[in-house]
């Protein structure tokens, strides 16, 4: 039987002792639950404290209509702001967990400075992943014309995607959706979870499982479908480059192109088409980029 290519991620060699333990299941699942719980607590605190916060910070005050406003609508409309708040809580928490873990396990998270030769490929891959996502959305929209279930799922996704709007200002959108949310998710999935999984299994399998967990974590069918491939790329780039900052950069670029850029170009169809076709072109180029990265990785 031919040796699969994925184990090339494992630079430690075949002599590495891996042990599947109960914590291999408990740590990833419990940390995901904690993440979701914190988001829920912060969102509910935000709703309950909104009149006070809006008065203190000078926000547009919706308090007079809170009695009749759908709470879920408030959370959806103000999600960029909420993501800033939960990010400011989760990032120190995950950083502290990884700090103490590194005291006993130096490779709990790889924090070396990114190699310059990886930055351009990472950027092209990030843009290309948006191109693949756009092609997937186009296919789903066409499929939705004849399959009502797909049409409903797309409508639900587009409603949730309204959270990625600059209604609160670009500052909140960039700080929350583009920077803090990606950083907290990278610390959790590529840092804590992938780090835990690779203690029990080959690196390639840890990459696949963390990607599946990351996809399911989003809990919306369309997001689950399109998030898996980017998560796979983020985990693989982390494994190949041994630098946590590479998937962080890729995640930030992906979210920026997927939220801020469309908002800035709203109504400018010609520019939107240029961006979309650039992303699709990068998706094609990414095939060569992956081959280049694989070659560089095999050379050591």
Mean pLDDT of 63-76: 63
User: What residue spans define the domains of the chain?
Assistant: 22-299
Q: Is the pLDDT of residue 59 over 60?
A: yes
For residues 223 and 208, what is the distance between their CA atoms, to the nearest angstrom?
17
pLDDT at 62: 55
Integer Cα distance of 177 and 172 in angstroms: 8
For the stretch 230-272, pLDDT in tens is 999 999 999 999 999 999 999 999 999 999 999 999 889 899 9
pTM above 0.95, yes or no: no
> For 24-49, what is each residue's pLDDT tens digit?
999 999 999 999 999 999 999 998 88
Residues 97-156 pLDDT 10s: 999 999 988 889 999 999 999 999 999 999 999 999 999 999 999 999 999 999 999 999
CA dist., res. 215 & res. 226, Å (int): 8
264-282 residue pLDDT tens:
998 898 999 999 999 999 9
Average pLDDT over residues 160-181: 90
Is the predicted pLDDT of residue 295 greater than 70, yes or no? yes
At 185-228, the pLDDT tens digits run: 999 999 999 999 999 999 999 999 999 999 999 988 999 999 99
Confidence of residue 10 (pLDDT cuts 50, 70, 90): low
pLDDT of residue 4: 38
Confidence of residue 298 (pLDDT cuts 50, 70, 90): confident
Cα distances (Å, whole numbers) of residue 281 to 19, 222, 274 = 42, 23, 10
- Given this model, what pLDDT does residue 26 score? 95
């Amino acid at each position: 039987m031919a040796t699969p290519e994925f184990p090339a991620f494992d630079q430690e060699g075949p002599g590495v002792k891996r042990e599947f333990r109960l914590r291999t299941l408990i740590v990833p699942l419990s940390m995901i639950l904690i993440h979701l719980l914190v988001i829920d607590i912060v969102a509910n605190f935000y709703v309950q404290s909104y009149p006070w916060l809006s008065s203190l910070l000078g926000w547009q005050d919706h308090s007079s209509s809170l009695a009749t406003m759908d709470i879920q609508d408030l959370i959806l409309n103000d999600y960029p702001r909420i993501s800033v708040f939960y990010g400011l809580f989760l990032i120190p928490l995950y950083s502290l967990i990884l700090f103490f873990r590194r005291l006993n396990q130096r490779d709990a998270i790889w924090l070396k400075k990114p190699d310059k030769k990886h930055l351009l490929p990472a950027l092209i891959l990030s843009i290309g992943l948006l191109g693949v996502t756009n092609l997937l959305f186009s296919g789903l929209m066409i499929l939705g014309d004849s399959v009502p279930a797909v049409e409903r799922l797309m409508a639900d996704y587009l409603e949730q995607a309204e959270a990625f709007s600059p209604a609160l200002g670009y500052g909140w959108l960039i700080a929350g959706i583009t920077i803090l949310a990606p950083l907290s998710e990278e610390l959790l999935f590529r840092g804590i979870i992938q780090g835990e999984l690779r203690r029990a299994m080959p690196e390639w399998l840890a990459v696949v499982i963390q990607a599946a967990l990351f996809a399911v974590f989003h809990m919306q069918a369309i997001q689950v479908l399109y998030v898996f491939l980017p998560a796979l790329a983020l985990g693989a780039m982390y494994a190949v480059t041994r630098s946590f900052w590479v998937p962080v950069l890729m995640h930030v670029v992906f979210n920026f192109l997927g939220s801020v850029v469309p908002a800035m170009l709203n109504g400018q169809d010609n520019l939107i088409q240029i961006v979309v076709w650039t992303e699709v072109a990068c998706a094609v180029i990414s095939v060569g980029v992956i081959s280049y990265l694989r070659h560089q990785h095999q050379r050591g």
